[in-house]
């Protein structure tokens, strides 16, 4: 009898074990209300915000203008602008939604909800502040031309890249290397071709996402009685 066949003892075969492992790994990459409440909340908020914008097209410009993380809004309502702008995606929501769902689910399972929130906020806040005020300072010094203080700057990309980078860094060996290379190319190539506020912001969000992860996991307390043996799991745990 082949080693891959099912025996009369009912012991799982190699193929069955491998299939279960793949299925388990795939399931852990998807948001779950019980195990990844933050990832689930992010997906739901993005879907609800996208649905609202789709059904109220006449209000898109007004909403984008108020939530945009430009210098004017950062001076009047900074917290509201920094938070709300991430959920305003006027078009093309599907791909960012999928990436956010996977990135948040992987990272939240690896380091927990509040650490994942810190990573997401670090990418959104620092990338937004540095690009907006950097462009404003550059205009004052006559280094750049486009520096409208009321420019539109909305979207989930800064959050997405920060969390995706941190999630990639938590993957094991080959998967981590490939993921980091792909993410690096996705931000470095556009920046090299057309350097601007958005491409610079993506590069900064990747950088701050990695920095936040390192700072949050550099000194993890080791619980008494627990060993540090390696786990045959797809993701590491905090």
95: confidence class by pLDDT, cuts 50, 70, 90: very high
Structure tokens at 200: 């610079």
The predicted-structure confidence for 100-113, as pLDDT tens digits, reads as follows 999 999 999 999 99
141: confidence class by pLDDT, cuts 50, 70, 90: confident
Mean pLDDT of the chain: 82
33-217: which CATH architecture?
A: Up-down Bundle (1.20)
- Give φ, ψ of 151 to 5 degrees: -60, 155
For residue 103, the SS3 value is: helix
- Give φ, ψ of 6 to 5 degrees: -85, 125
Q: How far is residue 24's CA from residue 16's CA, in Å, rounded to a whole number?
A: 12
Q: How far is residue 167's CA from residue 116's CA, in Å, rounded to a whole number?
A: 9
The model's pTM: 0.79
- pLDDT of 58 > 70? The answer is yes
The stretch 146-161 carries a mean pLDDT of 82
The predicted-structure confidence for 7-33, as pLDDT tens digits, reads as follows 455 556 665 545 454 455 545 556 677
pLDDT of residue 237: 42
Query: Is residue 155 a contact partner of residue 88, using CB atoms and an 8 Å limit?
Result: yes
153: confidence class by pLDDT, cuts 50, 70, 90: confident
Q: How far is residue 126's CA from residue 72's CA, in Å, rounded to a whole number?
A: 17
- Give φ, ψ of 92 to 5 degrees: 65, 50
Structure tokens at 14: 């190699």
Q: How far is residue 5's CA from residue 51's CA, in Å, rounded to a whole number?
A: 49
């Amino acid at each position: 009898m082949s080693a891959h066949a099912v025996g009369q003892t009912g012991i799982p075969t190699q193929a069955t074990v491998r299939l279960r492992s793949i299925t388990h790994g795939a399931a852990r990459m998807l948001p779950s209300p019980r195990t990844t409440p933050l990832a689930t909340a992010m997906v739901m908020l993005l879907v609800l915000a996208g649905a609202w914008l789709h059904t109220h097209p006449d209000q898109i410009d007004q909403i984008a203008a108020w939530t945009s993380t430009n210098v004017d809004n950062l001076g009047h309502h900074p917290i509201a602008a920094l938070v709300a702008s991430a959920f305003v995606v006027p078009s093309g929501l599907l791909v960012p939604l999928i990436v956010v769902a996977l990135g948040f689910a992987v990272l939240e399972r690896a380091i927990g909800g509040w650490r994942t929130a810190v990573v997401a906020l670090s990418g959104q806040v620092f990338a937004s502040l540095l690009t907006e005020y950097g462009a404003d300072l550059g205009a004052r010094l006559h280094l750049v031309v486009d520096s409208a203080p009321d420019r539109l700057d909305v979207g989930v990309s800064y959050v997405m890249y920060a969390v995706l980078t941190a999630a990639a860094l938590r993957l094991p060996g080959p998967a981590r290397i490939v993921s980091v290379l792909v993410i690096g190319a996705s931000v470095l190539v556009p920046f090299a071709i057309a350097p601007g506020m958005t491409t610079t912001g993506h590069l900064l969000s990747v950088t701050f996402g990695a920095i936040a992860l390192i700072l949050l996991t550099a000194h993890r307390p080791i619980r008494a009685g627990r060993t540090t043996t390696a786990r045959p799991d797809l993701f590491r745990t905090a």
